[in-house]
């Protein structure tokens, strides 16, 4: 095919853009032209602001610019420089150890032992550095930040896996010859389409402890009024509450996310299950049917089909949803804000204070533009490292057909 290209350009063009080289230059120029509008907007409204935000984060900036602080805002959040060096270095070493280890499996045998040893050493030192640095960081850094990261982590952990399992289940059922496929799909997708401000407001009224329909149903089911859950108003950990209900004493460190956060988690699941289902359906549609048939002939059971064919073959979808889900929970803002609106940010008692809400709080309540920007960059850093870790972990487990 390239011969056709060449002969065409040879006969029709002359000068600078003549020849194969010329065609490539022309294509490049045209590509830049195609990219121009998008990239221009991206630069003006995305990259430029990021640079600007970085600039802000290095200043004392309360509404208006103050003096230059270099990395002081970052250090205020993360503790002493030495802690940061330990932690970042430790994580770097761990990552490097992983990469070296990976390279061995494919690499030569003569260096294998040495490399292996190096990897183990790096792992060791990395772990050590983390053990040394991390407690110090927690000690010297911004407590609110670490608390909010933990909350975000709970939020993510509560949301993403359940969301994925549920939607996988629904998609698998919908993939059978079920009546009214389109109808089900539309119904499940409704929550995603709804305006977040509106649906979060509805959610709030449904879970209202005294007028909400959930508690009305519970009290109809015989739950005494004093025992009705307080939902959004409950700051105690959900494990603690379950323990109380079962009569088991749960230590405070295992209290888990507050019931208020659970309501937000439920909202998130409600919103995204339909979306994930639709995407899973697409993934299932791409699994070649012959594989099932062949496996059936070999006498595989329904469960084995699911385990050995469906799950591996939709793993790219799972990976995609996992990543989007995690990034989504880390960026989530609107619905948390609306569900807790009218109260202090992070209500009740800061238990729904995810990092993005914390950033908002510093921004709009404290007007610490500089510090808030620094926090935002730290959050971005966490997100990037999570993505990196996830990429590493999924290597070899995601099956790209």
Q: What residues numbered 249-268 form the site for other proteins, per CB under 8 A?
A: none
Alpha helices in 141-258 (DSSP H): 143-175, 181-193, 196-206, 213-220, 238-246
**Residue 185 binds other proteins, judged by CB under 8 A:** yes
**Residue 5 binds other proteins, judged by CB under 8 A:** yes
Binding segment for other proteins among 86-94, 134-142, 174-182, 243-251 (CB under 8 A)? 174-182
Binding segment for other proteins among 117-125, 240-248, 249-257, 376-384 (CB under 8 A)? 376-384
Contact (CB, 8 A) for 303 and 137: no
Closest of 296, 388, 312 to residue 99, by C-alpha: 388
Binding segment for other proteins among 86-94, 107-115, 170-178, 244-252 (CB under 8 A)? 170-178
Binding segment for other proteins among 83-91, 133-141, 245-253, 279-287 (CB under 8 A)? 279-287
**Residue 396 binds other proteins, judged by CB under 8 A:** no
- According to CB under 8 A, which one of 283, 329, 339, 354 is a site residue for other proteins? 283
- According to CB under 8 A, which one of 265, 278, 336, 339 is a site residue for other proteins? 278
Q: What are phi and psi of 185, to 5 degrees?
A: -60, -45
DSSP 299: T
Burial 331-368 (b: 16+ CB within 10 A, else e): ebeebbbbbbeeeebbbbebbbbbbbbbbbbbbeeeeb
Q: How far is the CB of 110 from other proteins (least distance, A)?
A: 25
**Residue 279 binds other proteins, judged by CB under 8 A:** yes
Cα three-residue angle 234-276-258, rounded to 5 degrees: 10
**Residue 285 binds other proteins, judged by CB under 8 A:** yes
- According to CB under 8 A, which one of 32, 71, 111, 245 is a site residue for other proteins? 32
Of residues 195 through 214, those in contact with other proteins by CB under 8 A are 195-199, 201-206, 208-213
CA distance 330 to 356: 7
Q: How far is the CB of 158 from other proteins (least distance, A)?
A: 17
Q: How far is the CB of 298 from other proteins (least distance, A)?
A: 12
**Residue 295 binds other proteins, judged by CB under 8 A:** yes
Cα three-residue angle 181-185-190, rounded to 5 degrees: 150
**Residue 97 binds other proteins, judged by CB under 8 A:** no
- Cβ nearer to other proteins, comparing 130 with 368: 368
Binding segment for other proteins among 119-127, 145-153, 237-245, 367-375 (CB under 8 A)? 367-375
Of residues 47 through 66, those in contact with other proteins by CB under 8 A are 47-56, 62-65
Contact (CB, 8 A) for 276 and 314: no
Cα distances (Å, whole numbers) of residue 233 to 147, 227, 325 = 19, 14, 26
- According to CB under 8 A, which one of 6, 14, 16, 30 is a site residue for other proteins? 30
**Residue 76 binds other proteins, judged by CB under 8 A:** no
**Residue 101 binds other proteins, judged by CB under 8 A:** no
**Residue 156 binds other proteins, judged by CB under 8 A:** no
3-state secondary structure of 62: strand
Contact (CB, 8 A) for 185 and 171: no
The answer to whether the bond into 348 is cis (omega within 30° of 0) is: yes
Residue for token digits 């850093």? 381
Beta pairing, strands 64-68 & 59-62: antiparallel
Binding segment for other proteins among 83-91, 121-129, 146-154, 331-339 (CB under 8 A)? 331-339
- Cβ nearer to other proteins, comparing 264 with 359: 359
CA distance 377 to 383: 10
**Residue 367 binds other proteins, judged by CB under 8 A:** yes
Q: How far is the CB of 389 from other proteins (least distance, A)?
A: 10
Burial status of residue 10 (CB atoms within 10 A of its CB: 0-12, 13-18, 19 or more): middle
- Cβ nearer to other proteins, comparing 18 with 166: 166
């Amino acid at each position: 095919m390239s011969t056709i290209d060449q002969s065409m350009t040879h006969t029709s063009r002359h000068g600078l853009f003549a020849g194969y080289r010329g065609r490539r230059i022309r294509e490049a120029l045209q590509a830049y032209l195609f990219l121009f509008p998008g990239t221009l907007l991206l630069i003006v409204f995305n990259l430029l602001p990021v640079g600007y935000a970085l600039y802000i984060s290095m200043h004392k900036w309360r509404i208006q610019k103050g003096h230059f602080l270099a990395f002081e805002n970052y250090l205020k959040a993360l503790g002493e420089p030495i802690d940061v060096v330990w932690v970042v270095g430790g994580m770097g070493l761990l990552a490097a150890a992983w990469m070296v280890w990976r390279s061995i499996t494919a690499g030569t045998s003569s260096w294998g032992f040495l490399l292996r040893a190096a990897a183990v050493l790096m792992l060791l030192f990395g772990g050590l550095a983390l053990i040394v640095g991390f407690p110090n960081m927690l000690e010297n850094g911004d407590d609110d930040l670490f608390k909010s990261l933990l909350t975000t982590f709970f939020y993510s952990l509560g949301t993403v896996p359940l969301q994925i399992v549920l939607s996988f289940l629904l998609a698998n059922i919908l993939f059978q010859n079920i009546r009214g496929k389109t109808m089900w799909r539309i119904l499940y997708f409704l929550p995603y389409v709804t305006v977040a401000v509106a649906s979060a407001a509805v959610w709030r009224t449904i879970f209202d402890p005294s007028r909400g329909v959930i508690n009305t149903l519970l009290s109809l089911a015989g739950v005494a009024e004093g025992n009705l859950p307080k939902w959004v108003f409950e700051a105690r950990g959900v494990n603690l509450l379950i323990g109380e209900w079962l009569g088991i004493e749960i230590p405070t460190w295992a209290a888990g996310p507050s019931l208020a956060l659970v309501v937000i988690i439920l909202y998130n699941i409600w919103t995204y299950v339909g979306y994930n289902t639709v995407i899973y359906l697409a993934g299932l549609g791409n699994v070649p049917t012959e594989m099932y048939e062949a496996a059936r002939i070999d006498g595989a059971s329904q469960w084995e089909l699911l385990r050995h064919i469906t799950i591996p073959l939709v793993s790219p979808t799972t990976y995609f949803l996992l990543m989007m889900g995690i990034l989504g929970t880390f960026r989530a803002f609107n619905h948390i804000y609306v569900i807790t609106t009218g109260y202090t940010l992070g209500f009740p008692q800061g238990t729904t204070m995810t990092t993005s809400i914390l950033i908002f709080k510093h921004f709009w309540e404290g007007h610490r533009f500089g510090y808030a920007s620094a926090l935002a960059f730290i959050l971005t850093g966490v997100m990037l490292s999570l993505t990196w870790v996830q990429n590493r972990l999924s290597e070899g487990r995601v099956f790209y057909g």
